[in-house]
Amino acid sequence: MSDEFDEGTSLPPTYLVLKVASDIKENTLTWLIDKIRGKRRDGGAELIVMRQPCDPEDGWMLHLSASKIKFLETAEEMELMKEDKAGVMREFTVSQLEEFLPEGMHVDDLLTLAEKQTIVRHELENIRALAEDAHIPGYPTYTLYEGQSIFQVCVKFNIILNVYPLHDQEALKKLGKKWYMSFGDQPIEEIRLYFGEAIALYFTFLGYYTATLVVPVLLGLLQLIVYSDTMSFFCVFNVVWVTLVLEIWKKKSNELAFKWGTISMTSMDEPRPNFRGSMGYDAISGKLQPQSPRYFTYIKMYCVSVPVVFLCLVGGFFMMLASFWAEDYLKQSHASDEYIILVPSIIYSILVFVVNAYYRRLATFLTEWENHRTQSQFDRHRVTKLVLFEFVNNFMSLFYIAFIIRDMEMLRSQLQTMLIIFQLISHMQEALLPFTIKYYGAKFASWRKSFFSSSREKNKFYRIATDEQLFPVLRSLPYLPIDDTRIEEASKEGDMEDYTDTYDDYLELFIQFGYVFLFSPVYPVAAFWALFNNVVEIRADAFKLCKIFQRPMSKRVKDIGAWQRCFEIIGAMSIMTNCGLLCLSPELKRSAPEMGQVEWVLLFVLLEHALLGIRYLMHITISDKPEWVRVALARRNYESKQALKFERSQKNRRLLTRKFKTIHGTHGH
Amino acid sequence: MSDEFDEGTSLPPTYLVLKVASDIKENTLTWLIDKIRGKRRDGGAELIVMRQPCDPEDGWMLHLSASKIKFLETAEEMELMKEDKAGVMREFTVSQLEEFLPEGMHVDDLLTLAEKQTIVRHELENIRALAEDAHIPGYPTYTLYEGQSIFQVCVKFNIILNVYPLHDQEALKKLGKKWYMSFGDQPIEEIRLYFGEAIALYFTFLGYYTATLVVPVLLGLLQLIVYSDTMSFFCVFNVVWVTLVLEIWKKKSNELAFKWGTISMTSMDEPRPNFRGSMGYDAISGKLQPQSPRYFTYIKMYCVSVPVVFLCLVGGFFMMLASFWAEDYLKQSHASDEYIILVPSIIYSILVFVVNAYYRRLATFLTEWENHRTQSQFDRHRVTKLVLFEFVNNFMSLFYIAFIIRDMEMLRSQLQTMLIIFQLISHMQEALLPFTIKYYGAKFASWRKSFFSSSREKNKFYRIATDEQLFPVLRSLPYLPIDDTRIEEASKEGDMEDYTDTYDDYLELFIQFGYVFLFSPVYPVAAFWALFNNVVEIRADAFKLCKIFQRPMSKRVKDIGAWQRCFEIIGAMSIMTNCGLLCLSPELKRSAPEMGQVEWVLLFVLLEHALLGIRYLMHITISDKPEWVRVALARRNYESKQALKFERSQKNRRLLTRKFKTIHGTHGH
């Protein structure tokens, strides 16, 4: 990717690799390539398509690129935010090109590689079916409606097998050195430029949350030393701290969103490719976009999705209860045999794993069907559905033990087991495996290399399709020479795992957050394990992204979406659970033997309400945005309001001038 | 006020009447009048000042007006919102005058009388001290700093005694017919045009809230019929209803704010006249305005105001406790004497009345001292302080009876007494008195008329100051002829009471709301009394505004401010109190005798948390703005963003053109 593209003499750089099914029909492929290369006015994407030598049985590998002009034009159309010379993030426009080019920067370097990849992807995804495209040519059953994203349909029907951008090995190496190889602050700005806003925001959150864990860790350790007497104080402080941390995060996140130019994203923005609706002019921007009334989405959500999700949650809850009942039953009938008693929990764990996989597909399907307009809305509603189920699976059993069985010892051991097993598994998946690969790397890498090159050597004969095997449309494409490094990179990165989104990473943090704060008086050491885990996690996640996964597409977000609310709800719940646990704790009860059951419950109610009150006060007094962001946003708003006024008065003046001219003309001649 | 102002031949209409102290020194009055009439560049307001014949011992009555051009210019500067021909509210600009004038409307009728009064008031209040104005001339101790509002200082030091706009009797008569004389919907749009947004919004809220009371009234009546068994159901329904009503109000209020063009008001808007700070260029608009860093305000609020208010609340609480203790003591020592037992509550009531008056002054002083930038912020913080104290005075005793003494009979009778006495007193003040005046009006009015005219007749001799008595500056002013109707109107309306703001009206609703919803299971009939009261209240308040008070200045607001939050907090509290009362109720306890004390408290906790959860869900699912308002705001935002982009690219093009011209010139010549 590092070779300079010299127009006219060599082939342009690859921004996306597209893998098409090997059994694709000729007319389908011709149609698809025509769409990708076609002119804008014919519904095409105006991209450059190249082919590489490949085995026809593996599928066709196409390399997508675009002209320099195309990049600049699309950047303006997509309302891409760029920093101008004055250091202000604003929408890029071609006519103001000069203002975005700092001294000495060439116009080709204006857009980063990630931005160019995003632009190519955006154009690819926005090839929309025309009125005459009734179905995919060659597949009469794969019907299309006007305005549907052709790319998404082809992916759905496995005509397009894979699409991914290529890594920039040089930049990646530099990034890695500052990131997972260092113990300083994370290079968030570099991460953003390489991986996009969504991933940069995840790592900012992870870093911030880990830093704030230091306080509960210290409190937890102090609690271990002085115990019981001060326990309630620590506990109260803990829940207040959680609220404070989340309120300040909102501020921090808005600050970043402002700096990154994502703060003005709304649900009225450009629709996501999969948004279904008849083509029409947008009420806000006047652009031709798929339109679908919002209340359709609401009806689907409230009438179908909510009940379905609710039933699933109830199902999950009863699964959990059943495992407890089975365990109880076995304890009574096979009290002697320790191993048999473990059977229900093992079956339950496996069941949860399996059911979870199905539920994920259900949730994705439902959210897709609800037809949300923007990617952020889609993500928010999908995450909400998934998190509810995860909540039942991960925390309900703990709630049951804490407040129904009321066995504090059991709760502690269960919490410990779950936290440690949970973190071990995630580390196995993320940290240990990659680190093993890295440290025992020399041997492994050489073996891997020899394996890859030998397989390549071996297959060379079959791999390269002869001209006769190629469809005419393929023969017409520019052809990458066999020694082009991109060919190996494309095949290597094509085999890598796909990093779909940040969901799993946030989920891990969310579950850990719950384990640490929901039951902190019972197991105060949890915060320490979490802190230790997260310090490793930052590096493991970074390594994983740089080395293990395909390069993810850069994605713009203005905040952590549904996760903010999820963490806040856990924060509110932690007030209730902590107060509940305090009042149930035998240590406290022993310290005030004169108090009866009723007094304890009333104490719980009082304490909880006071804390909820404090939480509410903190919520209303801590503003969401830092003062300077508020001022900067207000100034921008004011400036554009003034510009609109000015534009209108200019228009008025022109009208008046014309009027007077006409009058003058009538009189004069 | 209805006479047409014919420039040059007669005097312009009066928009504001200004009453200056009779003992004012000559140089002070000269300075003041010079400021009011002075040119903008000399720090003046460019208003027209007229005088009327008056008794020099009464103070000088000045009539303020302005030229037609001045009105239009100031309207643009104040960013006044007007409806354009397309029916869209947007900022008025002189250059687009045509677009705001519907077919057949004269340019003089573009601004309503209320708007013109607001403009004159705005200009009067924004006469700011210059660097050379070290103190008020004639009063070396009344120091001024640069940028201080001279008008506010003069009011503070009683140099200006009164300032008020005059009623438009004809319009008022029309309005009254549609409003307090009718039983249909309130003419909100007419109210807004005559009295301004703040008062129109109050009446919209009052009407809306009254309409939604019908549901609790029906539930309360049903509860009386079927009682005990279904009580908990009604109670639960009630608190859910309250939440729903308040969430929908937010939507409705935003809709109105959009229609009235106030939705974009922020804390960054033009500062209020009393905002103190050194003059500087605003970071947002670049206008010259007083500037003061926001954190000063925060420091003052959190370090002084919050502790002071907290101490006052504790004081109020102990006052309440003391009255209970005294009553208890008297009950034991003078059990036989019924009247002596009443003494503590009577003393308490009087004390509350007195302390409240002092606390109001304290709260106003503190809020003024905190130096909030905009009027909305000032109002919000003042209302918050006042409401907290009112809450302690009005509801704490009920809380004490309900949850400490736990005497349901006492609670019911206390609630009934307080609600009825409270409503009776307010009706005495607002409804009965004015209605008496109105219905026994014929006699009274004639007597009143004769009284006024006779007093006028009587005083005529003294009233009119001779030319020698007048300062030279006064002699130079245009002079209203003695038969001008404005003179009588000015003196009559000057004697009327001053309607300061909507605070008292909202407070009345707030206390009623608390009485109705906080303890509804004990006294379900409360809702009925409230409904009955409010139907009368709408008319009484309307009558009061039209007939009893001086015409209030029109005031722009975008929502009901702190009251929204106050009502919401009562809504949340009503969940807790209602659940608590349900679990304490002897009827319910009798229905499930097998449940112990602990079970009841736990039931309370469960029910309360479930309801709080429902409340939270309603809060996040009901959006604050109707869909069409969101779209319209987004479109306006998009349009102005595009205009800014366009303006910038035009500027760029001009720069480039100039550059190329220079290059061309170099080459050509």
User: Looking at beta carbons, which residues of chain A come within 8 Å of B646?
Assistant: 643, 647
Q: Please count the other Cβ atoms lying within 10 Å of the Cβ belonging to residue A121.
A: 20
Distance CA B620, CA B634 (A): 21
Checking if the pLDDT of B298 tops 90, the result is: yes
Q: How far is A123 from chain B (nearest CA, A)?
A: 22
User: Looking at beta carbons, which residues of chain A come within 8 Å of B647?
Assistant: 643, 646-647
CB within 8 Å: A266 and B93: no
- Report the phi/psi class of residue A561: left, alpha or beta, with left for phi > 0 and alpha for psi in -120 to 50: left
CB within 8 Å: A597 and B597: yes
Are B172 and B194 within 8 A, CB to CB? Answer: yes
Please name the residue of chain B whose CA is at the shortest distance from the CA of residue A597: B598
- Which ranges in B266-305 belong to alpha helices (H)? 294-300
Provide mean pLDDT across the span B654-665: 63
Cβ neighbours of residue A272 under 8 Å, at least 6 residues apart?
A: A372, A373, A374, A375, A378
Per residue in B340-390, pLDDT (tens digit) is 878 888 888 889 889 999 999 999 999 999 999 998 999 999 999 999 999
Does the beta carbon of A640 lie under 8 angstroms from any beta carbon of chain B?
yes
CB within 8 Å: B565 and A604: no
Q: How far is B98 from chain A (nearest CA, A)?
A: 9
CB within 8 Å: B648 and A93: yes
CB within 8 Å: A91 and B641: yes
Are B38 and B44 within 8 A, CB to CB? Answer: yes
Choosing among B639, B655, B659, which should be mutated to test the A contact, i.e. which has the most A CBs within 10 A?
A: B639
Helix or strand run (H / E) with residue A140: strand A139-143
Residue B153 exposed, middle or buried by CB count within 10 Å (0-12, 13-18, 19+): buried
The beta-carbon neighbor of B647 closest among A565, A609, A643 is A643
Q: Please count the other Cβ atoms lying within 10 Å of the Cβ belonging to residue B237.
A: 14
Q: How far is A650 from chain B (nearest CA, A)?
A: 9
Checking if the pLDDT of B63 tops 60, the result is: yes
- Look-up of token digits 């009058």: A663
CB pairs < 8 Å spanning A and B: 96
Q: What are the phi and psi torsion angles at B498 (to 5°)?
A: -95, 125
Are B569 and B459 within 8 A, CB to CB? Answer: no
Tokens representing B589 are: 């306890």
Per residue in A163-215, pLDDT (tens digit) is 999 999 889 999 999 998 887 889 999 999 999 999 999 999 999 999 999 99
The beta-carbon neighbor of A284 closest among B638, B640, B644 is B638
Q: What are the phi and psi torsion angles at A178 (to 5°)?
A: -80, -15
Distance CA B515, CA B520 (A): 8
Closest CA to B121 of B489, B558, B553, B545: B553
Per residue in A19-30, pLDDT (tens digit) is 998 888 888 999
Per residue in A552-587, pLDDT (tens digit) is 988 889 999 999 999 999 999 999 999 888 888 777
Distance CA B373, CA B316 (A): 30
Does the beta carbon of A647 lie under 8 angstroms from any beta carbon of chain B?
yes
Read out DSSP for A348-385?
HHHHHHHHHHHHHHHHHHHHHHHT-SSHHHHHHHHHHH
SS3 label, residue A497: strand
Residue A302 exposed, middle or buried by CB count within 10 Å (0-12, 13-18, 19+): exposed
First to last CA, chain B: 69
Per residue in B451-495, pLDDT (tens digit) is 555 554 444 444 566 666 678 888 888 888 888 888 888 888 888
Q: Where are the domains of chain A?
A: 16-166, 168-261+406-440+490-624, 626-669
Distance CA B627, CA A294 (A): 9
SS3 label, residue B592: coil
Task: Between B591 and A413, name the one with better pLDDT.
Answer: A413
Distance CA B564, CA B567 (A): 5
User: Looking at beta carbons, which residues of chain B come within 8 Å of A292?
Assistant: none
Can you give the pLDDT at residue B54?
Answer: 76
Distance CA B84, CA B103 (A): 11
User: Looking at beta carbons, which residues of chain A come within 8 Å of B266?
Assistant: 634
Please name the residue of chain A whose CA is at the shortest distance from the CA of residue B635: A284
* C-alpha gyration radius of chain A: 29
CB within 8 Å: B96 and A294: no
Q: How confident is the model at residue A458 (pLDDT cuts 50, 70, 90)?
A: very low
Tokens representing A641 are: 């309001």
Distance CA B70, CA B46 (A): 8
Does the beta carbon of B601 lie under 8 angstroms from any beta carbon of chain A?
yes
Can you give the pLDDT at residue B271?
Answer: 87
What's the mean pLDDT when you consider all of chain A? 85
Distance CA A531, CA A268 (A): 39
Task: Between B229 and A349, name the one with better pLDDT.
Answer: A349
CB within 8 Å: A609 and B576: yes
- pTM (2 d.p.): 0.86
Does the beta carbon of A643 lie under 8 angstroms from any beta carbon of chain B?
yes
Checking if the pLDDT of A459 tops 50, the result is: no
Per residue in B169-212, pLDDT (tens digit) is 889 999 999 998 887 889 999 999 999 999 999 999 999 999 99
User: Looking at beta carbons, which residues of chain B come within 8 Å of A643?
Assistant: 640, 643-644, 646-647
Read out DSSP for B8-55?
TTSPPPPSEEEEE-TT--HHHHHHHHHHHHS-GGGT----EEEE----
Q: How far is A630 from chain B (nearest CA, A)?
A: 9
Task: Between B660 and A492, name the one with better pLDDT.
Answer: A492
User: Looking at beta carbons, which residues of chain B come within 8 Å of A266?
Assistant: 634
Distance CA A642, CA A623 (A): 27
Distance CA B32, CA B47 (A): 12
Per residue in B533-579, pLDDT (tens digit) is 999 889 888 988 888 888 998 888 999 999 999 999 999 999 999 98
Q: How far is A658 from chain B (nearest CA, A)?
A: 15
CB within 8 Å: A605 and B609: no
Q: How confident is the model at residue B7 (pLDDT cuts 50, 70, 90)?
A: very low
Distance CA B546, CA B305 (A): 37
Does the beta carbon of A268 lie under 8 angstroms from any beta carbon of chain B?
yes
**Which chain A residues in 297-316 lie under 8 Å from chain B, judged by CB atoms?**
none
Provide mean pLDDT across the span B102-128: 89
- Report the phi/psi class of residue A166: left, alpha or beta, with left for phi > 0 and alpha for psi in -120 to 50: beta
Distance CA B439, CA B437 (A): 6
Does the beta carbon of A335 lie under 8 angstroms from any beta carbon of chain B?
no
The beta-carbon neighbor of A602 closest among B565, B601, B653 is B601
The beta-carbon neighbor of B631 closest among A96, A284, A652 is A284
Checking if the pLDDT of B2 tops 60, the result is: no
* DSSP code at position A595: -
* DSSP code at position A13: P
Are B62 and B491 within 8 A, CB to CB? Answer: no
Are A21 and A161 within 8 A, CB to CB? Answer: yes
- The residue count of chain A comes to 669
User: Looking at beta carbons, which residues of chain A come within 8 Å of B91?
Assistant: 641, 645
Per residue in B487-536, pLDDT (tens digit) is 888 888 888 888 888 999 999 999 999 999 998 888 888 899 999 999 98
CA distances from B387 to B359, B476, B499 (A): 11, 49, 19
Does the beta carbon of A644 lie under 8 angstroms from any beta carbon of chain B?
yes
CB within 8 Å: A643 and B639: no
Can you give the pLDDT at residue B286?
Answer: 84
Q: Please count the other Cβ atoms lying within 10 Å of the Cβ belonging to residue B575.
A: 26
Distance CA A277, CA A289 (A): 9
Can you give the pLDDT at residue B501?
Answer: 87
Q: Residue A83 forms beta bridges with which residues?
A: A89
Q: How confident is the model at residue A5 (pLDDT cuts 50, 70, 90)?
A: very low
Checking if the pLDDT of A449 tops 70, the result is: no
Tokens representing B473 are: 């500056």
Provide mean pLDDT across the span B109-131: 90
**Which chain B residues in 619-638 lie under 8 Å from chain A, judged by CB atoms?**
620, 627, 630-631, 634-635, 637-638
Are A226 and A232 within 8 A, CB to CB? Answer: no
User: Looking at beta carbons, which residues of chain A come within 8 Å of B604?
Assistant: 605
- The residue count of chain B comes to 669
Provide mean pLDDT across the span A484-491: 85
Q: How far is B373 from chain A (nearest CA, A)?
A: 14
Q: What are the phi and psi torsion angles at A163 (to 5°)?
A: -145, 130
Does the beta carbon of A86 lie under 8 angstroms from any beta carbon of chain B?
no
**Apex B203 CA angle, B198 and B208, nearest 5:** 125
Q: Which of A388-402, A418-432, B188-202 has the lowest mean pLDDT?
A: A418-432
In Å, the largest CA–CA distance within chain B is: 117
Q: Residue B163 forms beta bridges with which residues?
A: B18
CA atoms within 13 Å, Cβ hemisphere of A247: 17
Residue A398 exposed, middle or buried by CB count within 10 Å (0-12, 13-18, 19+): buried
Distance CA A572, CA A615 (A): 8
Q: How large is the angle between the packed helices B113-125 and B68-77, nearest 10 degrees?
A: 70
Q: How confident is the model at residue A439 (pLDDT cuts 50, 70, 90)?
A: low
Which ipTM did the prediction report?
0.83
Buried/exposed code over A331-347 (b: 16+ C-beta within 10 A; e: otherwise): eeeeeeeeeebeebbee
